[in-house]
Structure formats: structure tokens, C-alpha cells
Structure 1
Amino acid sequence: LNFFLKKNNQTSILVSQIIWHFLEGFSLRIGDMPNEKNLTVNFNKYLVPIDNGDYQFVFYKSKMSGRWWMSSTTDFNSENLNEVIVPCSYQDYLDSVDGRIPSRMTRLLRLM
């Protein structure tokens, strides 16, 4: 690439920094994404009824990292797990407990 041949090394330094940040982030990641095998062991499950109680959201909190995920179903299989569990925040959980449906949840409901 031509930008590596320029006398000014700024571009090559920036590309090097991008690569370094990617590799560092990759090595420091926490592998706590929910899956069929670890969902009942590594996560706390919170059920939040919506409206009159006919419908509920399910929140999962990782015991390893404290991160949150949400779903609108408890019926998981290997085909739909990645589609029905989405990352969320603790604030999303608090909002749903207070009866306010966060925008992530409305998008999730539209997909289903």
C-alpha cells in the first residue's frame, strides 16, 4: 500500500495502533456469552412481567462479569439462541421493572 511508503510515518503509526488495540481487546475479552450449556449455571435469571402479566421479559445477568442480556422467551434451542438473546444494560432491566419498555426491547419484539 502506498500510505506505508510516504515519508511521514503518521499513517503507518495509526495503522499499527489500530492493530494493537484490536489485539488487546481480543485478548482481554470475557467469554460469557449465553449459550445452551451455560445459561442455567453461569447466569442469574430475572423474570419481569409486562402489562397485565400475560407476557414477560427474561433478563440474564452473568455471574462472571455482571453483564446483562434480555430475551422475550425462555424456549431456547441451538437455532434460535443468538436471535432471541440480546445484550442490554442494567438500566434496561430497571426501566422494564418500572413499566417502561426500553427501545431495545421494542426492536426485539418487532423481530419476533
Structure 2
Amino acid sequence: MNPQLKKGLLEFCVLATLKKEDSYGYQIIKDTSSVVEISDSTLYPILKRLEAQGEIESYRVEHNGRLRKYFHLTLAGQASIDSFLADWPAVMGIYTYIRECNND
């Protein structure tokens, strides 16, 4: 898959995962693995960017004597998901156009 296209979709996969429940990095990777491959080195910059944009928030919880950083979807993050879903028909229109041109 084109890296630029994949990059944008990964952000929405992370947001969608956090819509289900608050989670931490390793669990996010496990939860999204059935749909897309994502590594630590890819995920953590995405989480940092989403947090800087106000789409997620983080907090720490002690787990087995260590602090684990959890992430929570904000209203801004939900708005991003909603916007993505609203734009999807336009994306499918582009896909259909490219597919039809390729079949000529």
C-alpha cells in the first residue's frame, strides 16, 4: 500500500480502536493487527501527533509495579472519525474512477 495513504488510514484505525475503549500502545497494535500492520516506531509518533492535536488524551495507570500510559479518545477525535466517515463516499468515487480507467 502507498505509504502516504497508509499513514492517514493508520491514524483513523488508532482513533477507532480508542473509541471502543481506552488502551495502551501494545494493545492498540494487537487490536489493529487483523486490519493493518503497525509497529511501535510507527504507532508512537501517531499517538504523539493525535495528542498534540487534541484528538486523544493520555493518563497513566500502575500495572505490575510499572506505570502504563493509556490513551483516551476526545470529542475532537470523535469528530475526526465522523469527518472521515462523511468523506468516504468521495473517496469511493475516486476509487471507482481509477478502477474504471484502469479497466479500459
TM over 0.5: no
For the pair shown, the structure with the greater C-alpha radius of gyration is 1
- Give the TM-score taking structure 2 as reference length: 0.24
In terms of fraction of residues, the more helix-rich structure is 2
TM-score normalised per structure 1: 0.23
